[in-house]
Chain A
Amino acid sequence: MITRSRSVGDALAGFERLIAQDRVNDYASASGDHNPIHLDEAYAATTQFGTRIVHGMLSLALVTEMLAAEFPNTWHSGGKIKVRFNAPVIPGETVTAYGEITSIDETDHGRIVTCNVGCKKPDGTDAVSGRATIPLE
């Protein structure tokens, strides 16, 4: 098995993704969260946002997709993430998942990498931002 060398300052392999309304609809089916603020434009127009918004957990899911791709053998077995939801994503926006390694620590449980992670809106503001820790192999 080939393991990648990791260093503080390394960028994670982020990606851009268009969050169209059909993805929001799929996410509602997956999560069971059919809140009309995500699905019903007429209802959403009456809310503080004035339009439909993407489930915050879908934005977070994109961040965890990046971590799953970057750390395929350990993210689901010992990974942790803590984020804030800073701004809603609007269906039709293209967001960018990003991350950077900020520390690598030797612990009693092996090497642990800490990353700043997030998901940016098209205007560069963070929809989601926070920190993840993942065991290294």
Chain B
Amino acid sequence: MAEPLISTAVIGHEFGPYDVTIVGERATAYSAAVGGDESPDYGDTLAPIIIVAAALTELIDDLGLYSGGLQTVHAGQEVSWGRAVYIGEKVEARGKLAANSIRRGNHFATVTVSYTDGNGAEIGTSSTTIIVTGEQS
């Protein structure tokens, strides 16, 4: 089996762009997950965290963290958001590996992500730190 990308990627490695446009069905599923009727009414806008989560899913896949034998822990998350985003509005995410090191046998990786709208304007950023154990690297 090929080595997961997290074992070989160097700082600065770029990910994406990913289309993280959230359509109505996914927005509805998100609302049901977090609280349904108990949640704030966002109207036709989205909670930014679901856009970040959609990008994170793509990143985890590209980093090879679904590979067998890897034990992955989502250790930290930062999100900064600039404006409301509408359901179905085009959003792209571009990631960059900001840190990738091994300490005490655990692999620490941090990926920063920039989110842009259909005009290419940045509307948010995020940073995800992941710890991988059980990896022979």
Contact = CB atoms under 8 A, between A and B. Distances in A.
Interface stretch (B73-81, B102-110, B114-122): B73-81
A47 B71 contact: yes
Nearest to A78: B82
Contacts of A47: 71
A78 B40 contact: no
Nearest to B46: A76
Contacts of A82: 76-78
Interface string B37-60: 011101001011110111011101
A60 interface: yes
Contacts of B39: 65
B99 interface: no
A76 B45 contact: yes
Interface string A49-88: 0000001111011101100110010001111111111000
A48 interface: yes
- Chain A interface size, as a band, is 35 or more
Contacts of B25: 29
Interface of B: 22, 25-27, 29-30, 32-35, 38-40, 42, 45, 47-50, 52-54, 56-58, 60, 66, 71, 73-85, 133
B36 to A, nearest CB: 9
A85 B129 CA distance: 10
* Residue with the highest number of chain B CB atoms closer than 10 Å, among A27, A58, A76: A76
Contact of A24 (B27, B33, B53, B58): B33
Given A77-B81, A85-B75, A57 B56 contact: yes
B75 A84 contact: yes
B81 A65 contact: no
A82 B129 CA distance: 11
